[in-house]
Every structure is written in C-alpha cells, then in structure tokens.
Chain A
Amino acid sequence: AQKITQTQPGMFVQEKEAVTLDCTYDTSDQSYGLFWYKQPSSGEMIFLIYQGSYDEQNATEGRYSLNFQKARKSANLVISASQLGDSAMYFCAMREVNGGGADGLTFGKGTHLIIQP
C-alpha cells in the first residue's frame, strides 16, 4: 500500500486563485512529520512547509499553509493567491519516527501544478 497518496497528477489554476493540493498518508506511528516540497522545471527540490503529528495548529509559511486533518490522515497544501512562479511539481512526503529504518522521507508521486495567466 502506498504510504503517501497524491490523487491529482495535474492541475490548471488561474493566476491569483487559491490552490489546494491533496495529500493523504498511511502510518501506524504516533509520531511522524509531514513535508511539502516544490520542484520547478530547473529540477531543484525546494522545501515549503512542515507539520508534526503532535502540532495542534496548522503550519503556515507565507502564502503556504498546510491543512492538517489527523483523523482523516490528510495533509493538504494550500497556496493562497497563486502566481505564475508557482507552476511546478509539488511533492508531499512523510517521515515516520518510530517506524525504524530510514530517517529519510517517503514521497508521493507528485502533482504538476500549472498557473495560467
């Protein structure tokens, strides 16, 4: 079973609109972390936002916020007032603290977001 599911392979959004990118996750750990990364066409992976499983408030970083619904195992990324420069691949990722093994992140398959003028 996939640990991270991103159901939207691609999205087209008008500039200045808000965008929600979906992410659901699967873990039996109590302690875990959720991340979002942006990958523009240049290929670099840019860290956007982090949410810990014990954090009670939704994380926010500028125009990015994470809509964390723990009971639903959902960690959607919300981008307010989208800009042309937001066009990129977006990856949701998880670190399971108690799962043993890698301290790395498990990534979803990504969502290709295109902002239209």
Chain B
Amino acid sequence: DVKVTQSSRYLVKRTGEKVFLECVQDMDHENMFWYRQDPGLGLRLIYFSYDVKMKEKGDIPEGYSVSREKKERFSLILESASTNQTSMYLCASSTLQGPSEKLFFGSGTQLSVL
C-alpha cells in the first residue's frame, strides 16, 4: 500500500522555537508538497519540490522554509514559530506523469504554537 508518512500527528511548540515537520513517501514520487489547512480557508500551498534539492514557493511561503535532501523526504521548517502558524499541516506527493495524477496525502500534523 502506498504511503505518505508524517512524523508527528500532534505537536506543541513555544513561540520562537525552530520547528521541523518531516514527511516521507515510499512511492518514488518526484513531486512533494506542503499545505496548511485552516477552518474556512481550505488548503493553501506553502512550498513544493519537483526534485531533490529543488524547491519552489507556493501561495503562502512567508515564515517557512523547506529541505529536500533525498527524493523520499521533504521537510518543512518554521525558523521561528509564531502563534499564527498554529494549523494543520498536510504533506502530499505525486508523480510528474500528467494532469490527472492525484495527490497522495499524509495524515497531517496538528501544530499548536503557544
């Protein structure tokens, strides 16, 4: 069974801390994505990556960075966490093969910044 695994389901951090959210996929997918989900706002794209060491900004990259050192792993980094980054974070992956390729999602990480 194909899988996207996010390392933590729930995370509580303090304002100003550096936070790492990890995502691993076992499908050999080229594309990986980080979204955040907030009530009433749907899912918004933070960053994505087409390949190892590649990254592209999504719609809301401010306050975030990413790292993709290996094809299967895509990390989201909050350099100095703030309360407005409290949210559900969803990682996803897909192949490059065409417009019909769906995204496979992880279970999400609910991050609370206090």
**B19 in contact (CB, < 8 A):** no
Find A43's partner among B88, B99, B103 (CB 8 Å cutoff). B88
**B31 in contact (CB, < 8 A):** yes
Query: How far is A85 from B44 in the complex, measured between Cα atoms in Å?
Result: 26
Interface code B35-63, partner A: CB below 8 Å = 1, 0 otherwise?
10000111111001010000010100000
Classify the interface of chain A: helix, strand, loop or mixed: loop
Query: How far is A106 from B88 in the complex, measured between Cα atoms in Å?
Result: 17
Asked whether, in the complex, the Cβ of B42 is within 8 Å of the Cβ of A107, the reply is yes
Asked whether, in the complex, the Cβ of B99 is within 8 Å of the Cβ of A45, the reply is no
Point out the residues of chain B lying under 8 angstroms from A47, CB to CB.
Answer: 102-104
Asked whether, in the complex, the Cβ of A50 is within 8 Å of the Cβ of B88, the reply is no
Point out the residues of chain A lying under 8 angstroms from B88, CB to CB.
Answer: 43
Point out the residues of chain A lying under 8 angstroms from B90, CB to CB.
Answer: 45
B44 to A, closest residue via Cβ: A107
Find B50's partner among A31, A45, A52, A103 (CB 8 Å cutoff). A103
Asked whether, in the complex, the Cβ of A91 is within 8 Å of the Cβ of B42, the reply is yes
Query: How far is A44 from B1 in the complex, measured between Cα atoms in Å?
Result: 15
Interface code A43-69, partner B: CB below 8 Å = 1, 0 otherwise?
111010010100000000000000000
**A104 in contact (CB, < 8 A):** yes
- 9 nearest A-B pairs in the assembled complex, by CB-CB distance: A45-B105, A109-B42, A107-B43, A33-B99, A107-B42, A47-B102, A97-B99, A43-B108, A104-B33
Can you list 30 pairs linking A and B with CB atoms under 8 Å apart? A4-B42, A6-B42, A32-B99, A35-B102, A43-B88, A43-B107, A44-B105, A45-B103, A47-B102, A50-B102, A52-B100, A91-B43, A93-B43, A95-B99, A97-B99, A101-B56, A102-B45, A102-B48, A102-B56, A102-B58, A103-B48, A103-B94, A103-B96, A104-B31, A104-B33, A104-B35, A104-B48, A104-B58, A104-B94, A108-B42
9 further A-B pairs in the complex, CB-CB below 8 A; given A50-B100, A104-B45, A104-B48? A31-B99, A42-B107, A44-B108, A45-B90, A104-B31, A104-B35, A104-B92, A105-B103, A108-B42
